[in-house]
Amino acid sequence: MMTALLSTLLALGLAALGLAVWNALAWPAPPHNAAPLGPCVSLLVPARDEESHIAACLDTILEQGNCVVEAIVCDDHSADRTAEIVRQRAECDERVRLIAATPLPEGWCGKPHACHQLALAAHSEWLLFLDADTRLQPGAVARIVTAATRHDATLVSCWPGLDMHGFWEGLLMPMLNFVVYTLHPAPLALLRKDPALGLAHGACILAHRETYLRTGGHVLVRHQLFEDTQLARQWRTAGERTVCLDGQDIGRVRMYDSLPAIWNGFQKNFYPAFQRRASFWVFWTGHSLVFLAPFIAAATAPTAGARFLASAAGLSVIAARIVLALRFRHPLWSAALHPIAEAAFLTLGLVSWWKFRNGSGVEWKGRFYRATSCPESEP
């Protein structure tokens, strides 16, 4: 019985390794030979308590050149100096504009609401939504728009590079890419329009304005905490083409800067990433078996044959981590500590499930979220 189970886990681990290798080798980035662009892009940044990020974000936006018609920041009821910093930048560059978010309507989450207002305020052919902690690289905007044209897509997301500093970031943040690219066939998603293959990262999403307004844009995901990938899937459901590309050289983010920030951020997104409770449990159980159980079995299996199978399954997981670490420039030492990261990740998933379904909910930037994925109270 144990031998059959471990053989299955080895096969699944090798399949995950194969998918990681395929993604690493075949997933393209936006073209480097970007076509010359005239003024055609509105840069849109939702910002809530982002005084430590917004100035640097705007600086990298304004360095993109004349293709940027406007850079609009939606101050989402910040309690810090976010709005003041944006006003200071607006005095130096007329392309910068600040708008204030209206009170959050019932049934809306904060970020989709801010993005929706930004889109209504913009005037360009293309809308590029950025998180405040995104740092665009030189020539990024032209490359993204060129990618949209070449792929005949009305929504393009560029998966950003992750900047990590310190032990906890190096240990836990690579799990984001590990989870996605041992499950999601990114090259296949470029060839097919299946909604289930939709993928996006909210740090960098380019949308065709007319299509955005026609399909509903963020109205489609107004109740979602995990709004980015759901937006891509809704976009595909509407018959539009979306692509998600390797954006390491397009934009870089330091998503969280401490263990508490990582914990709170992942906790906010983990359970809401699944549309059904059953999907969450299938994912959680599968990850436990394929990506953690082999390491436990390698140390505890009663026979040499079982220990060999478990070790081989564990090595296939480590190999997938190494492939993705090299591809995404993660610290290689994090691959060696995968069992610790995986155990923490699974624990975090349980906490997220408990808080959303049975507990007090999750607080994020002063808003309180429960199982409905919509804020129930706002200080």
pLDDT at 262: 92
Q: pLDDT (tens digit, 9 = 90+) per residue, 315-366?
A: 999 999 999 999 999 999 999 999 999 999 999 999 999 888 876 777 777 7
- pLDDT for 6: 86
What pLDDT is recorded for position 365? 76
pLDDT for the residue 99: 97
Predicted local confidence at residue 379, as pLDDT = 34
Length of the chain: 379
Residues 6+ apart with CB under 8 A from 210: 125
Strand partners, 74: 46, 99
Tell me the pLDDT tens digit for each residue of 275-324: 788 999 999 999 999 999 999 999 888 888 888 999 999 999 999 999 99
Residue 107 is classified by DSSP as: T
**Are the CB atoms for 342 and 175 separated by under 8 Å?**
yes
What pLDDT is attached to residue 371?
Answer: 56
CB 293 within 8 A of CB 316: no
The pTM score is: 0.92
Asked if 42 and 69 count as a contact pair (C-beta separation under 8 A), the reply is: yes
Q: What is residue 69's predicted lDDT score, i.e. its pLDDT?
A: 96
**Domain architecture of the chain: domains with CATH:** 2-24+261-356 (no CATH), 28-257 (3.90.550.10)
Q: Count the helix, strand and coil residues of the chain and give each as a percent rounded to the nearest 5.
A: 55, 15, 30
For residues 203 and 42, give the distance between their C-alpha atoms in angstroms, rounded to a whole number. 15
